[in-house]
Amino acid sequence: MEDLPLEERLNRSFDQQEKTEEKALELEKLIKSYSGAAPLMPKRKYGQPVEELVPSFGITLRSIIESENPRLAAYLNISTGYHKRLAEETRRRQEYIDNFKLKTEALQQRNAEERLRREKNLLRGINPNTGRPFI
């Protein structure tokens, strides 16, 4: 780049800064679109990438970004694995519910069989508690 004339170097530098600003504005707009994030966003100088501001993001802003857009959090290197833990917790909860439903259905079946057995014994004249014939 040193071999180029001054005007060409200035043009390239300007174009690079404009591209950086466009990317930064896009990221900044996305972050500010999340509920509660706009007032927490630190001020940025013209041409400064948002990535340079990440160390000054507070824990609240980081949490908002991660909860709203886990891919953006990964891009900014602020992901804590929240969504992965949440998905695992949801999966475990669903397994528990399914297992509980199976046990409940088995118990209902067993209770229905016991009720039917007691009714048959009553019709035969057998005491349902002792299993002996009524006298």
Q: Where are the domains of the chain?
A: 6-80, 81-135
**pLDDT tens digits, residue range 9-57?**
899 999 999 999 999 999 999 999 999 999 999 998 998 999 888 998 9
At residue 3 the predicted structure's pLDDT band, cuts being 50, 70 and 90, is confident
**pLDDT tens digits, residue range 98-126?**
999 999 999 999 999 999 998 988 888 88
Q: Which of 83, 78, 67, 72 is nearest to 26 (CA)?
A: 72
Question: What is residue 80's predicted lDDT score, i.e. its pLDDT?
Answer: 86
User: At residue 96, does pLDDT exceed 60?
Assistant: yes
Identify whether the C-beta of residue 65 lies closer than 8 Å to the C-beta of residue 76: yes
Distance CA 125, CA 120 (A): 9
Distance CA 65, CA 71 (A): 9
